[in-house]
Structure 1
Amino acid sequence: MPDSTEAGLVERISGAVHSDRRHDSAHKHVTGEAVYVDDIREPAGLLHVYLGLSDRPHARLVSLDLSAVKSAPGVVEVVTAADVPGVNDVSCMGRHDEPLFADDLIEYAGQPLFAVAAETREQARRAARLAVATYEDLEPVLTLDRARERGTVVFPPMVLKRGESDAAIAGAPHRLEGRISIGGQDHFYLEGQIAMAVPGEDDEVLVHCSTQHPSEVQHIVAHVLNVPANAVAVEVRRMGGAFGGKETQANLFAATAAVVARKTGRAAKLRPDRDDDMVITGKRHDFEVDYRVGFDDDGRIRGVEFLFAARCGFAADLSGPVTDRALFHCDNTYFYEAVTAKSLPLKTNTVSNTAFRGFGGPQGMVAAERVIEEVAYAVGKDPLEIRKLNFYGGEGRDLTPYHQTVEDNIAPEIVSALEERSDYRARRDAIRAHNARGGWLRKGIALTPVKFGISFTATQYNQAGALVHVYTDGTVHLNHGGTEMGQGLYVKVAQVVAEEFQIDIEKVRVTATTTGKVPNTSATAASSGADLNGKAAQNAAATIKERLIGFAVENWGVPREQVVFLPNRVRIGNQEIPFGDLVRTAYMARIQLSSTGFYKTPEIHWDRAAGRGKPFYYFSYGAAAAEVTVDTLTGEYRVDRVDILHDVGHSLNPALDRGQVEGGFVQGMGWLTMEELWWDQRGHLRTHAPSTYKIPACSDRPRIFNVHLLENARNRKDTIYRSKAVGEPPFMLGMSVLHAISDAVASVGDYATCPRIDPPATPEKVLTAIESLRAGKRQA
């Protein structure tokens, strides 16, 4: 169906697509009325569950004395690996390498050993600390250096190759090489991990869980309980943030609650403290990226090689796909004449890292931007000039390292538009003049682009289902497989259904995502939520609409073209009747008013072994210009101004999309500048609470923050109403702040040397880079 604007409608329904619409739960968020899992009315007899954790990163569990735990006040049950009815495994992707409870081998400090269920949460929490474990210590692998020496991978590495990179680098007029260390990141969702399992009749169980992937939780719980999938229902109304941290990590908490519920016959809820949540759950992968690049006098890249070594943790989790996607984005917006990129997903005795907004893509793009920056300093040019020189563009310069043709490249026009909108040139000249006067406060500016591939690289995940009911009063019930984590997916899909029927959005009610209504769904991830579920819901609504049209044609004896859906009414021939009246009349004639819908992304395919294919349906683009001030005495800095221009196609809801761009940028900035994970020599995570782990606060936001969506943009692909994904791509706009800091620091050395500041660019790292440049200048 064409956009209603294209159809020439003057009237607009309330909440139609392409219009600003508030988040459906916004008023509940601010008043506290929004119901999260911990707010659900607790069933009678509910047990509270807490986990007992290992103290060692790598050891044999010689004995586990739980006698004091079992006799503690209020304790009803204690469960270990021996109490698991099915398979003691909560791993994703069928790897069978992540036990629910460690039985013999301990592989990271904080690994769950048992669970205790008590009448109150405080009783369970206190009892869990009474266990006495005896270990036989084994040598842990905690760092990437040690992991490189050991060489054990959790997933087969991947190679992308186009052309002969080694020869291209060797034959280039200039060459350089280096390594960038890229830190990890904790998801730090506002709502922590939580699950409540309610036993039903026979072997049934209902699981309320904060998860992005209800179908996977359903599969894991069934697997652990040794029951069929149809005995497990998983329901998710909303999450208080997720960012990828609830794609696979929710499995353990849901399965534990379910095991307790099965064994006791009582409902069970598990909500860990923030400290334990951060210790138990995986993070964004930290990487060490080695690069070699050959380039000409102008700064055009002739050949490049990357090796992406990632600290993955003790189990595979999603490390294979994450490191793959890092390779997919090692080009960002740049064409490499010859390229080889390899992944190295290394096993370590730390918590298994997992999905995080961008899913490896940000790490690949940070490496690409480091290469651009290095080349710029080597040839003595503004990094923006080197970026533009190396953009994809035109036939012969449009093939990615994975052999997909870039058909929709708008990076040059976005960068050009932002360069003008932000007055980049004049400001850069003014900043250079300011820094030339000396002083402790130095300024920096950078403009960085983003190109992000949209689709799951595992082709089978690019599918979605939906269920739509139309009731006889003209209201609509909508359910789909996507989950709501604050991003506004529910209201966007409701807007799609309202648009299809041409009814006000207030008449569309979206109900909690549940495996009992829409089966076999993919995770709400990879920025695919609106693309997939919007199309599936549109398909379901269109089926019902076709039935209503057919009924009208038959009942009123008019040609099909004389049945037109108008705002809240339908024109049939020369009369107009309210939508609800048509529905009631159709019901009396026994017309089916319910339908499922389905969608699968077309065109995509991927051969991992060959490193070739079309893994992405389209690309999302954006650019950000950031200006900072750095105190060269302390390494501290502030973000003075940020200008963003981002492409969301023909936005379904500009207000929500703008919010996603703003939030994504701030989160990306936090990752690259201040969020730092640190493990001690015993393998214990020491940054496990707000007191030790710093995330951006209100005072860290840019003083001037100009965010614009690309005007008159339309997706060339047949996405839902020609919109584009917005969840992940804006995250990488934060790279502009990292490079603005680098620009300011470089002024200390008269812009002669690339500062090579590894993210996160904490004040300590910034000050170290400043002192290094000062020392080099004195020696010169």
Structure 2
Amino acid sequence: MADGNTFPAAAPTAENGIVAGGATRSLRHESAAMHVQGSASYIDDLPEPRGTLHLVPGLSARAHARVLSMDLDAVREAEGVVGVYTAADIPGENQISPVGKGDEPLLASDLVSFYGQPLFVVAATTRGAARRAARLARVEYEDLPAILNVAQSREAGSPMVWRPMEMKRGDAVGALEHAPRRLSGRITVGGQEHFYLEGQVAFARPGEEGEVHVISSTQHPTETQHMIAHVLDRPANLVTTEIRRMGGGFGGKETQANTCACLAALVADLTGRPAKMRLDRDDDMTMTGKRHDFVIDYDVGYTDEGRIVAVDMVLAARCGWSADLSGPVIDRALFHADNAYFYPDVRLRSEPLRTNTQSNTAYRGFGGPQGVVAAERVIEEIAFATGLDPLEVRLRNVYGTHDRNVTPYNMVVEDSISAELVPQLARRCDYARRREAARAFNATSPYLRRGIALTPVKFGISFTATHFNQAGALVHVYTDGSVQVNHGGTEMGQGLHTKMVQVAMREFGLGSDQVRITATTTGKVPNTSATAASSGADLNGMAVQDAVRRIKRRLVAFAAAHWNVAEDAVRFLPDGVHLGEKVIPFSHLTRQAYFARVSLSANGFYKTPKISWNGETGQGRPFYYFAYGAACSEVVIDLLTGETKIERVDILHDAGESLNPALDIGQVEGGFVQGAGWLTCEELVWDKAGRLRTHAPSTYKIPACSDRPRIFNVELLQNAPNREQTIFRSKAVGEPPFVHGVSVFMAISDALASLDDYRTCPRLDAPATPEMILRTVARMRHGDVTAA
């Protein structure tokens, strides 16, 4: 299998003056050298103007309480403190709800709804002074009952943060009653901390006549701009947000970045001085939302041959104290509760439950991975109940023929390739032989058990909020032939800027040294969508291409007239601009075009076609297309310690015609490790008071180097262009690879099933930490295999 080091470049061809091919070469990440040298600037690296104020929030010490009094005199009098600001100091709306629910104040005043909610912000001459001062606040509370998890929320009848969703097709209840075989169960799936390397940070600089310029580590510059404008009570044209690069985001900076940005802008506006807010890791983890954890109940009908007849599933999520993005996140969990499988009769329901914990938010996969875990649990339940190989059950239920290609939300799956891709990977990784070897090993091993699982992924690509499926770009060509590209997407390490450079390179026939990407800013490209939903390259790539082609059309018309050739004889190739038999440097063309007063700048725009979604009915086409893939993981678990080692992983992933194979393979590798970490070692723990106890690297474990697979083979599916008109027929590679980590969880379950000779499903809950594995081992050895 491919080792990720070398990839062939497609031979360039010409169509309508546009170079096709060539962009599939693995261009180095545009900031890679600066990352290695330490010269890539992040917000905390930027020089601070004289007089910069440093901000630290004062956080609540209750999960749910009324604020009776707040004595901040000692805070104000502390050394180095310039000011202390509360909700009463906000000139505009004390509200940063990203979905307009009005349930998320920037600073709490009368009521606190989770432990760690910001009450005030301290501005001081140094961060140390601000931190010391914030601890001097005296707050008196009246405690209220705190709801901390799904069970408590259900018992208390707590209101939901979003409307519940139901997706159905056929008669699931009736089909279950008449199914040849039937089972039901429950799985609990834990949440996950984003753990970006660069924490939440923002720097605000006041300007003239109410202007404010905010550099924010945000995935959604436009939303951050709007939130600041609302808080300061001024039009958006006085607020500019900018981001050159982030040290990771994973969804944790789609909405959660707004708090730091708004508080920094507020203090800058009130004081007339630059202000910076960079959260310490403890405060960051305590304040910000996580991946939603779920309790999923399922009722399944099936045949002796392992074919699914009907599925009835309820997905309940701990959403936290406010709506945030819980609605669309949980909707997407329903969208992916089928994964790659056809359910003949189906009913899927959601319960977005309010709790007095951090407001859970976007996370890589946006609810999709939680839905996939539920689908894979259904498959393994059927496999153990029938005695069939789980892979065989998977292949008997994948989407395929015309009468087995309609999703629970009534979208027709037109591009399913799971039936071909999964067997291809099984052959390449020698799944059948290794499965038999694992069973033979387990038959004689008292303390170590091996497990193997091969799982597919079908992941929908697009924002389910239809209006977010748009993007803009601004491209300038200078008279020396150099090109500057700006677009609405943000760079968080995934290589989006590099791919946008490649789009311009490919269209103009230029080298990477001739195309420059600039910081993302609302001052250049307005009204943009978040860099999320795996749509960054899809949306912004098409917008950049649109801008470039607008310029090219002008250049082609000019060149044809100036050199007296036909327009279709003007082609942009790597060796220069071809004018029939004549070849000139690109810079010569741009200079001559300038003298002829031809515009060398253009805005580009793109909106995704074909999509529609009705959230009220749970019906429509929410996705432009699906990305596919499969992963085979083999693990060894220690029955004495509960520890897991990932022995080998093989992944075959569908990236369409990859824009940059090296970057895409890196995304697959990183996504897999992050997904495996979520399901094995990353555990969030709250105490009875609602305090997050896993709020630092010392108490929250992310995968380390030693947790990576001992053998790790990753390959991109070849000769599989996207059927839809995406940028150069590529497919999104951001969220889908995260789901490959589910194969590790299923392999652990397979290993545990050996304790009962593979007759019953272990019903392992996630994350499969050593403690969880040991509890499952004890339960199975005592014969309790029916309850999770």
TM-score (norm 2): 0.97
Match of 2:620 among 600, 613, 626: 613
- Residues 46-125 of structure 1: pairs in structure 2 closer than 5 A: 46-125=52-131
TM-aligned CA deviation for residue 150 of structure 1: 2.5
Deviations along 1:392-451, whole A, 9 cap, x unmatched?
110110000000000000111111111001000000011111111132111110001000
Q: Does 1:131 align with 2:141?
A: no
Moved over 4 A (4+): 12-16
The answer for the alignment partner of 2:554 in structure 1 is 547
TM-aligned CA deviation for residue 13 of structure 1: 9.6
Q: Does 1:275 align with 2:285?
A: no
TM-aligned CA distance change 1:14 to 1:38, over 3 Å: farther
The answer for the alignment partner of 2:456 in structure 1 is 449
**Cα distance in 2 for residues equivalent to 1:758 and 1:333:** 21
Mapped contact 2:11–2:22 kept (Cα < 8 A)? no
Structure 2 residue runs of 5 or longer lacking an equivalent are 1-8
TM-aligned CA deviation for residue 691 of structure 1: 0.3
Query: Aligned partner of 2:701: which letter?
Result: K
Match of 1:213 among 176, 196, 220: 220
Mapped contact 1:13–1:504 kept (Cα < 8 A)? no
TM-aligned CA distance change 1:754 to 1:570, over 3 Å: same
- Paired residue secondary structure (1:773): helix
TM-aligned CA deviation for residue 62 of structure 1: 0.3
The answer for the alignment partner of 1:501 in structure 2 is 508
**Cα distance in 2 for residues equivalent to 1:415 and 1:8:** 35
Aligned length: 776
Deviations along 1:347-375, whole A, 9 cap, x unmatched?
00011000000000000000000011111
Query: Aligned partner of 1:71: which letter?
Result: E
TM-aligned CA deviation for residue 17 of structure 1: 0.9
Query: Aligned partner of 2:156: which letter?
Result: R
Deviations along 1:564-608, whole A, 9 cap, x unmatched?
222141122332111100100000000000000000000000111
Q: Does 1:168 align with 2:183?
A: no
Match of 2:163 among 152, 156, 160: 156
TM-aligned CA deviation for residue 743 of structure 1: 0.8
Q: Does 1:197 align with 2:204?
A: yes
Query: Aligned partner of 2:471: which letter?
Result: A
The answer for the alignment partner of 2:719 in structure 1 is 712
**Cα distance in 2 for residues equivalent to 1:39 and 1:767:** 45
Deviations along 1:114-143, whole A, 9 cap, x unmatched?
000000000001100100000011111111
- Residues 588-627 of structure 1: pairs in structure 2 closer than 5 A: 588-627=595-634
The answer for the alignment partner of 1:45 in structure 2 is 51
- Paired residue secondary structure (1:597): strand
TM-aligned CA distance change 1:627 to 1:476, over 3 Å: same
**Cα distance in 2 for residues equivalent to 1:5 and 1:413:** 27
The answer for the alignment partner of 2:6 in structure 1 is none
Match of 2:662 among 641, 655, 660: 655
Query: Aligned partner of 1:574: which letter?
Result: E
Match of 1:478 among 468, 476, 485: 485
TM-aligned CA distance change 1:158 to 1:13, over 3 Å: closer
Query: Aligned partner of 1:776: which letter?
Result: G
- Paired residue secondary structure (1:776): coil
- Residues 190-589 of structure 1: pairs in structure 2 closer than 5 A: 190-589=197-596
TM-aligned CA deviation for residue 557 of structure 1: 2.0
- Paired residue secondary structure (2:666): helix
The answer for the alignment partner of 1:17 in structure 2 is 23
**Cα distance in 2 for residues equivalent to 1:760 and 1:560:** 61
Mapped contact 1:742–1:755 kept (Cα < 8 A)? yes
Mapped contact 2:63–2:112 kept (Cα < 8 A)? yes
Deviations along 1:79-105, whole A, 9 cap, x unmatched?
000000101011101111100110101
Query: Aligned partner of 1:120: which letter?
Result: T
TM-aligned CA deviation for residue 453 of structure 1: 0.1
**Cα distance in 2 for residues equivalent to 1:700 and 1:505:** 36
Deviations along 1:706-750, whole A, 9 cap, x unmatched?
011111121000000000000000000001100111111111111
Mapped contact 1:482–1:489 kept (Cα < 8 A)? yes
Deviations along 1:214-260, whole A, 9 cap, x unmatched?
00000000000001000000000000000000000001110001111
TM-aligned CA deviation for residue 29 of structure 1: 1.2
**Cα distance in 2 for residues equivalent to 1:321 and 1:546:** 40
Mapped contact 2:187–2:296 kept (Cα < 8 A)? yes
Which deviates the most, 434-443 or 247-256?
434-443
The answer for the alignment partner of 1:699 in structure 2 is 706
- Residues 742-753 of structure 1: pairs in structure 2 closer than 5 A: 742-753=749-760
**Cα distance in 2 for residues equivalent to 1:388 and 1:591:** 58
**Cα distance in 1 for residues equivalent to 2:490 and 2:300:** 42
- Report sequence identity in percent: 62
The answer for the alignment partner of 1:678 in structure 2 is 685
**Cα distance in 2 for residues equivalent to 1:581 and 1:135:** 72
Mapped contact 2:779–2:785 kept (Cα < 8 A)? no
Which deviates the most, 668-677 or 744-753?
744-753
- Paired residue secondary structure (1:127): helix
- Paired residue secondary structure (1:23): coil
Query: Aligned partner of 2:538: which letter?
Result: D
TM-aligned CA deviation for residue 15 of structure 1: 11
Query: Aligned partner of 1:22: which letter?
Result: R
**Cα distance in 1 for residues equivalent to 2:563 and 2:13:** 24
- Paired residue secondary structure (1:530): helix
TM-aligned CA distance change 1:161 to 1:15, over 3 Å: closer
Deviations along 1:162-186, whole A, 9 cap, x unmatched?
0000011110011111111000000
Mapped contact 2:14–2:20 kept (Cα < 8 A)? no
Match of 2:780 among 763, 768, 773: 773
Deviations along 1:253-310, whole A, 9 cap, x unmatched?
1000111111110000001110010000000000001110011111111000111100
Which deviates the most, 149-158 or 594-603?
149-158
Mapped contact 1:142–1:350 kept (Cα < 8 A)? yes
Query: Aligned partner of 1:193: which letter?
Result: Q
TM-aligned CA deviation for residue 753 of structure 1: 1.3
**Cα distance in 1 for residues equivalent to 2:736 and 2:513:** 30
**Cα distance in 2 for residues equivalent to 1:50 and 1:777:** 50
The answer for the alignment partner of 1:144 in structure 2 is 150
RMSD: 1.6
- Paired residue secondary structure (2:84): strand
